[in-house]
Every structure is written in C-alpha cells, then in structure tokens.
Amino acid sequence: MSDLRERARELDAADPLAAVRADFVLDDPGDGVYLDGNSLGALPANVPGRLDDVVRREWGQLRIRSWSESGWWTAPERIGDRIAPLVGAAPGQIVVGDSTSVNVFKALVGAVRLAGEGRDEILVDAATFPTDGYIAASAARLTGCTVRAVAPGEVPGALTSRTAAVLLNHVDYRTGRLHDLPSLTAAVRAAGAVSVWDLCHSAGALPVGLDAHGVDLAVGCTYKFLNGGPGSPAYLYVRGAHQAAFDSPLPGWNSHAEPFGMRAEYEAADGAVRGRVGTPDILSMLALEAALEVWSRPDVSIAAVRAKSLALTDFFLECVEAYVPAGRVEAVTPVAHAERGSQVALRCADAGAVMERLVAAGVVGDYRAPDVLRFGFTPLYLGFAEVERAARVLAETAG
C-alpha cells in the first residue's frame, strides 16, 4: 500500500492538469472521492456567478432585450461552436438544445430520410442505452423501417443494401468499452447507409474526430464530462455536406428560415440551425457556456485529458488488483487503451450493496443492474491520490 500511495503522490506532483481542479467545486480529497462524473459532472466554480448575472441583469433588467443584446438568440450555434473542437468538428455543424433523446430522434429520422428510397432497416447497438433503443423503435414506426439490434463489432457484416441508418454508442455506458468509430463509420459509409453516433460517454473525455472520420450525424449530452449541470441541453451534429438535405422530423419556428415571419408554410433555415426546434432553455444553456470556459485554458486539451484518463484508469485497475481480494471483483472494462473509455466497470455479485457502502464511506460511483460497479474518471478534477484511496476503500467495503 505504501508503494502505491507514494506513486500516487509522485503522479499528482507531475500532473500537468492538477491545477485545473481549482476550477471546480469539490470536497476536500480527504473527505470524499467523486467517481461519478460520467453521470453528472462536478460544478465549475464560475457557473454560479454567471447564472447570477444572467438572472439578475440579463433577465431581471434587460428582460426581452437580452434575446439580442445578450446574445440569447444565437446561443445554440455559438455554444455548438465551442463544443465542436472537443469532438473534432469544424464550426457551423453543431447546434445545442433539447435533450439527448430528442436529438437522437431528430438524427435517426433525419438519417433515414437522407438514405433515400429502398432502404428500410435501422441497425442499433445491441447494448445501447435503453432510451436510444426506444427512440429507434419509434423512429422505425414513423418511417416504415424495421429495427435490428447488432453488436457494434458485427455491424460490418450486418450491413445490407436495405440498411438506412446505423445508431451506435461511441462508449458503452455500462462497461466503458470504446468502439472503433473510424472503421465502423467507414463500413457504414461504404454500404451507402448513414451513421449516427451517440457521444454521451466520450465527448470531453477523449478524441472523437467527427469530421476526420466522415461521421454523418451525432448527438451527445453535456452534463457528464462537459460539466454543464443536471439536465443541461444536448447537441446535434449535422455534417456540413448533409445540411442542405437534412430534413428534421421536428420542424419548429426556431429552425425556420424566417422565424419571426410567422408564416404558415415551413421553410428550413440553412446550416446546423435546421436542428433547432422551439425556444431554447436559456438558463441551462448559458450555465453550459460558462462551464465550457475551462477548455479555453492553455493547459487543457483533449489530448492532455485523454492521456490523464488512461493513466488514471490504469492506476485504478492496478490498485484494485493489489488491494481487493482475488476473485471478489472482475474488471469488464477492456485493458487495451484503444478499447477503453474514461470509466472502469467492475462486476461484483452484490454490486448494489457494495456501492451503497462505498458511497457511505465517501467514494461516490454508481451501480448498474444486475452486477456492475461503475466508476467514472474525469481528468480535469480527479487526482491519483483519490484514485488510490478509492481502491483502498473498495477493498475495505467489499471484504
């Protein structure tokens, strides 16, 4: 134990992102370890002041003038452009607003419409987050398609001339497995289908490369590794080449070419604005914008975050192996870096009870039925000493 504690101290001392922790509101490391940033990111320290100004001045004093004078109207595209470099996208392709579920629906129906006639099947990640599956089934009913669940690795062999769209998760929410976005996207494109990627567990944690790898459409949430706050708005990526043909199933006045013309006929606006629907949630949206300011620091980059993420998860797995009795838990997150997101999932027969004891002891992760302990690693505010402590407490509570 002493050797691993000393290693943790050395790693923290050499950590180029260590100073970023001060930008977040967190417990003292000795009081608790927060390993649930893959469900809800910690509060950025600048957000309360920004929201106070939004509420008191922009809303309280300027009132409706803030739609223009405070930039409220253009916030969905402006904030989308701030997210764009974090997922490898050029400006003008991401719009922020609505929930992940709503954006999955827009993207999937839009993908089927882009695919064109003669394609009537949607492939869905067999291990997807349940809501994505529900949305896919609804989109299929709406578009006259059928849905087929396929493991991501089997997608290339499952594609046919009937495949319209393929909905995949970049990182599996339960196991933390990172799927091969470049090769899977290439296979979908070669088959003439349209790719839709769910980036909820990868954006802000690792490189994505939407433009570089030819992704057609993508969606993601902002309350995990982007720390936008509970229920913060999601985003929709529409590749530039598809924007003129993208036909959203949820046309709204915000996506109209002339939103204040109040015309009875719908005419879609140009660009990513087509992904908008109704009036955006300004309070949550501007909290997210403030949260994203941390990515403007010169010491913060996706490359640095990914490097630290892999180091943290490697170290946690090493500590678990050293501290936890053999056979008590089983790692289900891949060891290979190319196959690992920014979380570690451990299988444990009594996982629910173990997680309750861990939380009571100050180590906050989460439980996924039936037997998974899930720990998220947010490199912007997590240190190696906390990781070592978490593994030690896990050994004590698991017995």
Helix, strand or coil, per DSSP, at residue 399: coil
Q: Which of 374, 377, 384, 389 is catalytic?
A: 374
Task: Report yes or no: 91 and 84 within 8 Å, Cβ to Cβ.
Answer: yes
Catalytic-residue membership of 237 = no
CA–CA gap between residue 346 and residue 383 (Å, rounded): 20
For residue 200, the Cα-to-chain-centroid distance in whole angstroms is 2
Catalytic-residue membership of 34 = no
Q: Which of 24, 34, 223, 375 is catalytic?
A: 223
Catalytic-residue membership of 129 = yes
Q: Which of 82, 177, 224, 276 is catalytic?
A: 224
Helix, strand or coil, per DSSP, at residue 150: strand
Catalytic-residue membership of 235 = no
Rg (CA), the chain: 22
Q: Which of 34, 105, 129, 384 is catalytic?
A: 129
Task: Report yes or no: 303 and 207 within 8 Å, Cβ to Cβ.
Answer: yes
Task: Report yes or no: 184 and 150 within 8 Å, Cβ to Cβ.
Answer: no
Q: Helix 384-398 and helix 302-323: axis angle, to 10°?
A: 30
CA–CA gap between residue 8 and residue 281 (Å, rounded): 42
Catalytic-residue membership of 328 = no
In this structure, the number of other CB atoms found within 10 A of the CB of residue 9 comes to: 14
Residues marked as catalytic: 129, 198, 223-224, 374
